[in-house]
């Protein structure tokens, strides 16, 4: 099977870090061209450094580009649930490498040109970098094969009753991406809230010897303590579920809807508005994830992490 050339745009973040780890362990399926960082969970200075540190900690040297420091229009709303650094209390050695000299949006465009229309983008943060790439280089729309987004939801938000964090933080960017004509997969809260981290998966990480399992183990520990502190349920991993939709699509049920972004509603700004009954008579522009095989997802995740075991 040909490997998928992909740029992974992140706002690293604890769950972004788990997504990055699983992506790096899927090198048989993914040809990662670059990681690009955007402001979101924390500032872009922190999301980009977290991303670079993780790439190095996992023994790889993928290029990393820093991107947008603020959304297109509004100010950023950081997520308190990832801690002040974005990686909870997980401390990693600081990379000695530099970021790519070009900003994230230019790196996305360069990779799109180099891959002649086969490039995919996995976006797990606000869509500011992707939107800037589209706005600055409209020809990119025929050069990106598919964008998979962790973001939005068909029903219900986590920042407002109707808006999910990544879309909430840059609705103008999301509208540019959703109306770009590029094939879109939306992996929203409808499915990312279903797999809640089971204790046996946490325990499984203890049986694996690798920097990958070490990092995930430490992040899981922070997530569990944070959930207990906030009185929530078991943690949700959000971003790695979007990755799974690329490399393990059979785990998902998808439905196609015309979907756009509300910008002006006093109560609904940042809502991903899906036309379930096609009353707009507009062609669907989004493959929306509507269900997930939860047990199958955890089996997939454990198998991915076990592949890193240096003692197997």
Report the run of H or E that residue 294 belongs to, with start and end: helix 294-306
Task: Examine residue 165 and tell whether it contacts ligand RIB (CB under 6 A).
Answer: yes
Site for ligand RIB in 239-258 (CB under 6 A): 239
At residue 131, the 3 state secondary structure works out as helix
Residue closest to ligand RIB, measured at CB: 165
The entry of ligand RIB, Ca ion, none near residue 164 (CB within 5 to 8 angstroms by kind) is ligand RIB
Site for Ca ion in 4-23 (CB under 5 A): 11, 13, 16
291: tokens are 């269900």
Question: Quick one: which of 5, 63, 125, 171 contacts Ca ion (CB under 5 A)?
Answer: 125
Task: Examine residue 8 and tell whether it contacts ligand RIB (CB under 6 A).
Answer: no
Task: Examine residue 11 and tell whether it contacts ligand RIB (CB under 6 A).
Answer: yes
- Cβ contact 240:31 at 8 Å: no
List residues with catalytic annotation: 238
C-alpha 102/C-alpha 74 separation (Å) is: 24
Nearest residue (CB) to ligand RIB, 208 versus 297: 297
Q: Which residue has the tokens 């420091």?
A: 69
Q: Which stretch binds Ca ion (CB under 5 A): 62-70, 97-105, 238-246, 254-262?
A: 238-246
C-alpha 186/C-alpha 248 separation (Å) is: 15
* Beta-ladder partners of 147: 121, 184
C-alpha 261/C-alpha 141 separation (Å) is: 19
Q: Which residue has the tokens 């990662």?
A: 32
The entry of Ca ion, ligand RIB, none near residue 56 (CB within 5 to 8 angstroms by kind) is none
How many chain residues interact with ligand RIB (CB under 6 A)? Answer: 16
Question: Quick one: which of 13, 171, 235, 270 contacts ligand RIB (CB under 6 A)?
Answer: 13
The least distance separating Ca ion from the CB of residue 116, rounded to whole angstroms, comes to 29
Report the run of H or E that residue 25 belongs to, with start and end: none
Backbone angles phi, psi at 201, to 5 degrees: -75, -40
E runs forming strands in the chain: 4-10, 30-37, 64-66, 119-123, 144-150, 184-187, 252-257, 259-261, 272-274, 286-292
Task: Examine residue 40 and tell whether it contacts ligand RIB (CB under 6 A).
Answer: yes
Over the window 91 to 130, marking each residue x when it contacts ligand RIB by CB under 6 A and - when it does not, the resulting string is ---------------------------------xx-----
Backbone angles phi, psi at 307, to 5 degrees: -65, -15
The contact set with ligand RIB (CB under 6 A) reads 11, 13, 15-16, 40-41, 79, 124-125, 150, 158, 164-166, 238-239
């Amino acid at each position: 099977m040909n490997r998928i050339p992909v740029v992974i745009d992140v706002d690293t973040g604890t769950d972004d870090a788990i997504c990055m780890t699983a992506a790096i362990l899927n090198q048989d399926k993914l040809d990662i061209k670059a990681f690009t960082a955007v402001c979101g969970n924390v500032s872009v200075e922190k999301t980009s450094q977290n991303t670079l540190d993780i790439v190095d900690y996992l023994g790889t040297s993928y290029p990393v580009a820093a991107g947008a420091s603020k959304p297109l229009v509004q100010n950023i709303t950081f997520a308190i649930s990832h801690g002040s650094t974005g990686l909870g209390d997980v401390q990693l050695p600081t990379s000695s490498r530099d970021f790519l000299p070009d900003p994230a949006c230019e790196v996305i465009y360069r990779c799109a040109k180099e891959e002649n229309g086969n490039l995919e983008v996995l976006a797990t943060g606000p869509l500011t970098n992707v939107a800037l790439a589209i706005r600055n280089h409209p020809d990119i729309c025929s050069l990106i094969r598919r964008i998979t987004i962790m973001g939005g939801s068909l029903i219900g938000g986590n920042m407002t009753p109707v808006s999910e964090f990544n879309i909430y933080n840059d609705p103008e960017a999301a509208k540019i991406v959703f109306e770009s004509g590029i094939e879109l997969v939306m992996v929203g809260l409808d499915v990312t809230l279903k797999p809640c981290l089971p204790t046996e998966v946490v325990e499984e990480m203890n049986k694996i010897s690798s920097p990958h399992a070490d990092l995930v183990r430490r992040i899981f520990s922070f997530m569990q303590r944070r959930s207990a502190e906030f009185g929530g349920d078991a943690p949700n991993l959000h971003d790695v579920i979007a990755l799974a939709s690329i490399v393990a699509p059979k785990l998902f049920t998808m439905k196609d809807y015309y979907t756009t972004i509300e910008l002006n509603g006093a109560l609904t700004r940042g809502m991903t508005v899906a036309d379930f009954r096609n009353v707009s008579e507009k062609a669907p522009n989004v493959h929306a994830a509507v269900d997930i095989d939860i047990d199958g997802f955890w089996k997939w995740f454990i198998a991915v992490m076990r592949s890193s075991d240096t003692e197997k």
